[in-house]
Chain A
Amino acid sequence: MKSLQDLSGILGAAGAAMAPLLYASLGGLLAELSGLLNIALEGLILIGAFAAAAAAGASRSLLVGLAAGAAASTLLAALFGLATLKGKANEFIAGLAANLLASGLAVLLSSRLYGTKGLLSFDIPSIPRLELASLAKLPILGELLFGQDALSYGSWLAAFLAWLLVAKSPLGLRLRAAGSNPKALAALGLSPERYRLAAILLSGLGCGLAGACLSLRLSAYVPGISSGRGWIALVAIYLGGRRPLGVLAACFLFAAADGFANYAQGFLEAPADFILALPYLLTLIALVAGAGARRLRGRD
């Protein structure tokens, strides 16, 4: 019984940890489907986290924080999108540039505005949670389904909306055509670049929410708060087979692995460095396993 309670706790923590990954990954998925590799997710999350914490701290309002995080990331995404689409910059280099810009700018702003490069803690209201204590006590899935905060449920909603958009709407069909068959789209008199720019802006929005999720939950901004999540979100896109619900599953897998690592730290006595490396290692293993499976099935 004790271990079932533990399991429910681990899965619940995974659900919470999944939210930022999922927001970012869904945004990245739209860009990927439209034909752009968005390598800037990491930086977009970081700047979103900074802006969200700073704005929420100044206004004492979660909504203002969310909006500021989303706006900052979308702005940076617009820069990235314009550089690649209008300036014909290489998407990879422009993405790296956006990452560098985000981490540099966050430090510059932090030391200019708050006089420190270190941790910034803010007085931010806590995020509303679902108050269903009795249901949350249910074994195994209780915490995951009934013990989450609004941002977690929001991420599920985002996955559902992305699924509607990508799989069920004519808009999604055109978005995918921009990536897989831009000539056909152009032949219809539609501009693939428009769809790509829109997708990039949406990936900025997703990363902004992801970043806001990280810093608002902590009521603080910590340097390097994105800590590799943008990269893992990127891999989740491929691991999820470039489909919204697949991405949801992949993000949950990563979050659960991360949660398990934290939990295991309690009794495994593994060095902390190992735990920190685990998300990257697991991502790599998933990537290799996925590629191996595709090989075995004879496609690719």
Chain B
Amino acid sequence: MEGLRKGGFGSHLASLAAALLASVGAAFLLLYAFSSSFGEALGLFFLGPFQNAYYFGNMLGAASGLALAGLAAQFAFSARTFNLGGEGQLYLGAIAATAACLALPEESGLLGKAIGLAAGSAAGALLGALSGFLRRRLGVDELLSSFLLSSALVYAGDFLVSGPLQDPASNFQTSPAVPEGLRFARLLPPSSLSTAALLALAALAAAWFILGRTRFGFELRLSGKNAEFARYCGIDAGRYAAASLAISGALNGLAGAALILGTYNKAMKGFSAGLGWTGIAVALVAGGSPLALLPAALFFAYLDAGAKAVMIGADVTSEIVGVIQAIVFFLVTARALDSLVARRAAARAGRAAGGRG
């Protein structure tokens, strides 16, 4: 992440290539270790996602959700803040969107969709903003506060889905489906690819413009890069840090809402679990560029689709993807976010200098 440097796309591609290589190697080894039918599992893992239009469409659909979740993580990184609350923000965003859409009539169409997306974003933004507020006013580390808040509220989401929002006609812990008129159109039925993918693309383009081409984006990145210098320039760095967390939360909420309107159509208990973490992985591989999120999201969606294909067709559980992700993390991001380390080290030195008995 080269902070204020505009380009850097080439280096992101290099890191993406390294990620690809590392994960191929990891998948190879893991399948060898954990599958009794190595060759078959290998084929399913790497070629499964391209097996038919259904798998392929599902992969693209998953990638659009990952791109939004990745953008959420990246927006916080841009201001050198950590949003670890993606899990809760996404889940509650999805639930807020579901609740809003269930209250709307079928005919509300485009406006109804917009209201659903706005409700999801607002829920996520609220959670993100709370962490931002705590950091700005009380100096509470946003890394911890966002994680704790999110972890607690995931249970609030579980409660809502299996209580007040529970579909009385279903035996599963799920809300009723949102009205058909409020769903995004499927692009490759019956796969989950929908026009939500266009929304994700639009969000990436907008973020690229805002972060790279506007005063707001410039000041936001400068605040993270060098708060001291930003202050000399008359920029309130703390406000930008808080804003980045709120926007990051909003994007996670939007991702959750898009998941409801595009893919699942109803909120099920824990249906988005893990997506917030994968979003962080996507952002780390993409580095600082919103446009690089697209290949990064496709890459992680591919890994996930491969793992699902192996789970269905061979004897390996899909958790293999978590292990591969971990190895990719270790290998690829070794030198990424160097300045974040510097910020935390400086904060620690400050704490240590503050004296302790």
Residues of A bordering B, CB below 8 Å: 35, 37, 79, 83, 87-94, 96-101, 103-105, 107-108, 111-112, 117, 179-181, 228, 231, 234-235, 238, 241-243, 271, 273-274, 276-278, 280-281, 283-284, 287-288, 291-292, 294-295, 299-300
Contact = CB atoms under 8 A, between A and B. Distances in A.
Interface in B203-251: none
Nearest to B146: A284
A238 to B, nearest CB: 8
Interface stretch (B2-10, B194-202, B323-331): B323-331
A273 B163 CA distance: 11
A46 to B, nearest CB: 12
B322 A90 contact: no
A199 to B, nearest CB: 14
B145 A284 contact: yes
Judged by DSSP, the binding face of B is: helix
B139 A241 contact: no
Given A90-B341, A181-B352, A273-B155, A97 B330 contact: yes
Nearest to A104: B322
A87 B323 CA distance: 19
Contact of B145 (A99, A278, A287, A295): A287
Looking at B153, B333, B354, the one whose CB has the most chain A CB atoms below 10 A away is B333
B329 A100 contact: yes
B37 interface: no
Given A90-B340, A94-B330, A280-B151, A108 B34 contact: yes
Contact of A287 (B144, B152, B159, B353): B144
A288 B138 contact: yes
B148 A90 contact: no
A96 B280 contact: yes
11 contacts: A87-B334, A89-B330, A89-B333, A89-B335, A97-B329, A100-B322, A112-B34, A277-B156, A288-B134, A291-B134, A295-B139
B319 A280 contact: no
A288 B139 CA distance: 9
A167 B214 CA distance: 52
B340 to A, nearest CB: 6
B325 A273 contact: no
Contacts of B114: none
Contact of A274 (B141, B159, B327, B352): B159
B162 to A, nearest CB: 8
Given A90-B341, A101-B323, A117-B317, A96 B151 contact: no
Nearest to A234: B144
Looking at B158, B159, B322, B335, the one whose CB has the most chain A CB atoms below 10 A away is B322
Contacts of A235: 144, 148
B326 A98 contact: yes
Interface string B132-175: 00100011110111011101111110110011000000000000
Given A88-B334, A108-B319, A181-B352, A295 B138 contact: yes
Nearest to A223: B319
Given A96-B329, A117-B317, A276-B155, A242 B356 contact: yes
Given A103-B322, A104-B323, A108-B319, A92 B139 contact: no
A222 B292 CA distance: 39
Nearest to B319: A107
B302 interface: no
A209 B53 CA distance: 49
Given A88-B335, A100-B277, A112-B34, A180 B163 contact: no
Looking at B321, B334, B344, the one whose CB has the most chain A CB atoms below 10 A away is B334
A284 B330 contact: no
B174 to A, nearest CB: 15
A92 B82 contact: yes
Given A97-B330, A104-B326, A117-B317, A291 B140 contact: yes
